[in-house]
Amino acid sequence: MNKIYETQISDKKWLTLGLISDVGWLTYFAGMALYMINGADGLGTVILSATFLLGWLCILAMLIGIIELVSQRIRKLNRRLKKSQLVIGFGFVVYGSLAGCLLSAASVVTDILFGYETGMCLAAQCVMAAGAFICFAFGLPIMRSFKPEEQ
C-alpha cells in the first residue's frame, strides 16, 4: 500500500525554505570542489581519500534527491506525493546532507586534532559542513510538513 502524502505549507514558506536549502547543497558541492582541487599532503592522504569517497556518496545521495524533486516539479507533483517519491526526493536530499554535515564536521575535528590536512582543505571541509547543515536545516521542515492523506 503506497500512501499519499500531502503538504499544506504556504507557497512563501516553501519557496523560502527551498531556496535556502538549495544554497546549502550548492555550498556543499562548492566545498567539495575546493577539497578536490587542493588535496592534502603527508599523513592526511589516507584520511583525505576516505573522506573524499564518503563525501562523494553524500553528493550522490543529494543528486538523486534533486533529480527526483525536479522530476516531480515537472510532473506537477510537488504537493502530493507517494511515500516512495517523498523518500527518494526529500529524503535523499535531507539525509544525504545530514550525512555530509556529520562527515565534514568529523573531518574538521580530525584535521584540527591531528593536523592532517592543509589549511585550504580544512577551509573546504568547513564550507562543506556549513553547506550541508544549511541544506539539512531548511530542507527538513519541508519534508516534515508532508502528512498522510486521510482516506
Residue 122, Cβ density class (10 Å: 0-12 exposed, 13-18 middle, ≥19 buried): buried
Q: What is the pLDDT of residue 120?
A: 76
| pLDDT at 45 (0 to 100) | 59
Rounded Cα distance, 146 and 26, in Å: 24
How many CA atoms does the CB half-sphere of 106 hold within 13 Å?
Answer: 13
Buried b (16+ CB within 10 A) or exposed e, 90-120: bbbbbbbbbbbbbbbbebbebbeeeebbbee
Nearest to 62 by CA among 39, 88, 37, 32: 88
Q: Where are the alpha helices (DSSP H) in the chain?
A: 11-38, 44-74, 83-86, 92-114, 119-144
Supply the pTM of this predicted model: 0.86
pLDDT at 72 over 50: yes
Which of these ranges, 3-7, 37-41, 42-46, 91-95, has the smallest mean pLDDT? 42-46
State whether the Cα torsion 147-72-86-52 is positive or negative.
negative
**Picking from 7-11, 23-27, 57-61, 78-82, which range would have the lowest pLDDT averaged per residue?**
78-82
Beta-carbon contacts of residue 110 (< 8 Å; ≥ 6 apart): 47, 116
Contact 103, 138 (CB under 8 A): no
